[in-house]
Amino acid sequence: MLACLLGSLTALLGQTEGTRQWSYALSGFTVSSPALSPDGQTIYIGTETTGRAGRILAIPSNGGLPRWVVNRPQGIDASPTVDTDGTVYIGGYDGKFLALNPANGVPRWEINVGAFITSSAAVSEGGVIYFGGGDSNLWAVNRDGTVRWRFAAGSWIDSSPAIGADGTIYFGCNDRIVYAVTSAGLEKWRFDTGSPVPGSPAIGADGTVYIGSLNQRIYALNPVDGSVKWQRLTNGEVRASPVVGADGTVYLGSLDRNFYALRPEDGSERWRATFPAEIWSTAAVRNDGVIIVGADDGIVRALNPGDGSIRWGYNTATGPGNLIESSPIVVSDGSIYVGSLDGFLYKINGNGAGLSGVGTWPAFRRDAARGGRASTVSGGGRLLNLSTRAQVSGSETLIAGFVVQGGDERVHLMRGIGPALSAFGLAGMPDPRLQVFSGNIVIATNEDWGTNTGGFSVSETAAAVGAFPLPIDSNDAAIVLPLSAGLYYTHITSVDGRGGVALVEAYDAPAGDPRSRLVNVSTRGRVGVGADSLFAGVSVGGPRRSRLLMRAIGPGLTQFGVGGVLARPTMMLFTPAAGGGQTLLGTNTGWTSSGAVYDIAAAARLVQAFPLLESSADCAMVVTVEPGNYTIQVSGVGNTTGEALVEIYHLP
């Protein structure tokens, strides 16, 4: 599944950014934050009517009549949380925590905690639901509604829990404490802020826990022991929750009417924006870096990430009392949803940029489902093999680079294939030579894979990693080497001066240190037309998803003295289809055209890839993928040809 949807939808919508697309009367007021269904077609939100009763509504994304409404005897301040199967979890002032059928709103089960519930739920990867109650307990509930355990805090819990990548649950409490609790319900640590902590934590890329307190401070806490990495004093209570942008910047508002952008390493101020009203709303960060946040003057603002200047503001003037304490969410087509105390849910037009897919905690409860769980992508999946295919003349060199990261030596299989490609209908290079370089030093060479003797077996290693077998008497080349962490290059050249299609592969073999892994491949080659396009493939393994940065560089190569570059590349991402053939997952022509400029630039900095000029026609996308096989095809717009570099990076 793609982490970001490519292509701006602004032209399709025919709307101006920052204008209202529709508003829906909720028959009450709301501080609840909207949540999105898995298919993106339904928005869930809670309200409190003027008679102090509660309602939970499922509103279609086109703003039509509700799909269903659930009436409750008391108000709903908590925000809905949507599970992967669409189940909606939410609690209310009546003390009931509900699991609602997304089709009709009928409760699948309910739990009576005996006291109000204003805490929103978090759902673990294993399907355990955590929420706080007015009974001073953190509840852990299975998906079938059975109670797993309860953890007793010192007072009622307004704070919505956040789940770290290791399963630790973090939350604040009215007893002034920030708690860290294990998935077994045992206390890991506690930190006393000296004042109640109603806000929800945000979790950084390194696991740092960011949380505010009514003592006017935001804290960065070490996830291991709760020690303070840094603290930042504002001049007002911090009731909003912090969020984390793609570059790690921590954003939050305060009741001192300032919105802060803080450096993650020390909490120092990048900038601040001063509003004319208090800020209770938690922000949302788009993949173009723009920050969306509401305030108690009823205005939803879009702030530029560089300096906090206002890009636009939308005044929710539909009704009286239009204070915004609901937290906005940005969905994949760029639309923005937010509730208001004036009793309306608003849908505001964006510019096609969705929620950040690189920021570790870009919105209240992290994502549009309000799941409250840190991404388990980091360290979860791994690249099992990387490959590139290109047309190579008899005098050219196909150069592929790859990076090994991690611990001690691990075995890798590298192959330079030409003749064996005939089995796939390709005119392969008749006699390829494979050389492996570390820096400028050749560390291994092979011309005919069957001549390898001693060391690791090529055929056995190929079978172990699932590589297709090579004919024993073929001129294909292969090498098995234990490699330590570092940058390596493979060169494919012709032994006899005859060109053809060449395939270069690098496989992560089972032997050696499991901490060592492939993290990126880059190949420079000539892009032709059709079957002579430049192809790169990657196989992603592991029990979890992986985030990848994929780039196709043409014009950007000129800064390195490369001539004859592909002036305008197009990059397409495919995965094998269930019934045969391939499924197109995404395409990009011009990396800034997707709207995800900030995410892509931040991802490049994260893996130390050279930056792209915003004016360049180079291609790039950030994607989140399930374990499986993926192919990138790089071609030229209008069947143009030239030199190009294709890159695949595994994001941490």
pLDDT-based confidence at 156, cuts 50/70/90? very high
Average pLDDT value for residue range 145-157: 98
At 2 the pLDDT is: 33
The helix/strand count (H/E) of the chain reads as 3, 48
Contact yes or no for 329/294 (Cβ under 8 A):
no
**What does the mean pLDDT of the chain come to?**
91
Alpha-carbon distance values, 425 to 396, 422, 538 (Å): 22, 5, 21
DSSP state of 602: H
Decide if pLDDT at 546 tops 90.
no
Decide if pLDDT at 70 tops 50.
yes
At 303 the pLDDT is: 98
Q: Of 176-190, 465-479, 543-557, which one has max mean pLDDT?
A: 176-190
* Largest separation between any pair of C-alpha atoms in the chain: 87
pLDDT-based confidence at 209, cuts 50/70/90? very high
Contact yes or no for 291/283 (Cβ under 8 A):
yes
Q: What share of the chain is helix, strand, coil (3-state, %, to 5)?
A: 5, 45, 50
DSSP labels, 224-275: TT--EEEEEE-SS---SPPEE-TT--EEEE-TTSEEEEE-TTT--EEEEEE-
Alpha-carbon distance of 188 to 224, in angstroms, equals 8
Contact yes or no for 276/257 (Cβ under 8 A):
yes
DSSP-derived 3-state class of residue 459: helix
Nearest to 548 by CA among 651, 630, 401: 651
Average pLDDT value for residue range 600-629: 91
Partner residues linked to 244 by β-bridges: 250, 361
The domain locations on the chain are 10-348, 382-650
Average pLDDT value for residue range 592-609: 90
Q: Could you tell me which residues come within 8 angstroms of residue 523 by beta carbon, excluding any fewer than 6 positions away?
A: 388, 390, 398, 399, 400, 401, 504, 534, 536, 645, 646
DSSP state of 458: H
Quote the tokens at residue 8.
Answer: 């701006």
At 516 the pLDDT is: 67
Assigned CATH for 382-650? 2.60.120.380
Nearest to 494 by CA among 396, 634, 350: 396
pTM of the model: 0.85
pLDDT digits (tens, 9 = 90+) for 617-637: 999 999 988 888 899 999 999
Torsion, Cα of 19, 21, 27, 32 (10° steps): -70
Decide if pLDDT at 608 tops 80.
yes
At 512 the pLDDT is: 62
Decide if pLDDT at 321 tops 80.
no
pLDDT-based confidence at 485, cuts 50/70/90? confident
Backbone angles phi, psi at 568, to 5 degrees: -145, 90
Lowest-confidence region among 301-315, 344-358, 400-414, 435-449? 400-414
**Domain at 10-348, CATH from 3.40.50.1370, 2.130.10.10, 3.40.50.360, 3.40.50.720:** 2.130.10.10
> Backbone dihedral region of 418: left (phi > 0), alpha (psi from -120 to 50 degrees) or beta?
alpha
- Residue holding tokens 């395939």? 503
Q: Could you tell me which residues come within 8 angstroms of residue 75 by beta carbon, excluding any fewer than 6 positions away?
A: 28, 46, 47, 48, 49, 52, 53, 54, 92, 93
Backbone angles phi, psi at 409, to 5 degrees: -60, 145
Decide if pLDDT at 224 tops 70.
yes
Q: Which residue has the higher pLDDT, 116 or 482?
A: 116
Backbone angles phi, psi at 273, to 5 degrees: -115, 130
pLDDT digits (tens, 9 = 90+) for 43-52: 999 999 877 8
Alpha-carbon distance of 5 to 357, in angstroms, equals 10
Decide if pLDDT at 350 tops 90.
yes
Amino acid at 41: Q
